[in-house]
Amino acid sequence: KFPRASAIKVVDISGGCGAMYEIHIESEEFREKRTVQQHQMVNQALSEEIKHMHGLRIFTSAPK
């Protein structure tokens, strides 16, 4: 969903249930966008997957 991403990391933080994740994405697509806009992009890209999650932490950034 983020072809220009320079780094993507997904961590299962559920403690065993497999339904809570932490996602770190570094992508040029986030440059000059506010954090809320970046997170909306991730939420939209994962809209189907999110339906089956208990929780999701999103960390986004543009490359330096």
The pLDDT value given to residue 14: 92
Question: Are residues 21 and 41 in contact, defined by beta-carbon separation less than 8 angstroms?
Answer: no
Q: Which CATH number is 21's domain given? A: 3.30.300.90
Boundaries of domain holding 10 = 5-61
Q: How many domains does the chain have?
A: 1
Is 48 buried (19+), middle (13-18) or exposed (0-12) by CB count in 10 A? exposed
pTM: 0.88
* Interior angle at CA 42, CA 2 and CA 35, nearest 5: 110
Question: In angstroms, rounded to a whole number, what is the distance separating the alpha carbons of residues 49 and 62?
Answer: 24
pLDDT tens per residue, range 12-57: 999 888 899 999 999 999 999 999 999 999 999 999 999 999 999 9
Question: In angstroms, rounded to a whole number, what is the distance separating the alpha carbons of residues 55 and 23?
Answer: 11
**Dihedral of the CA atoms 20, 11, 61, 31 (nearest 10)?**
-80
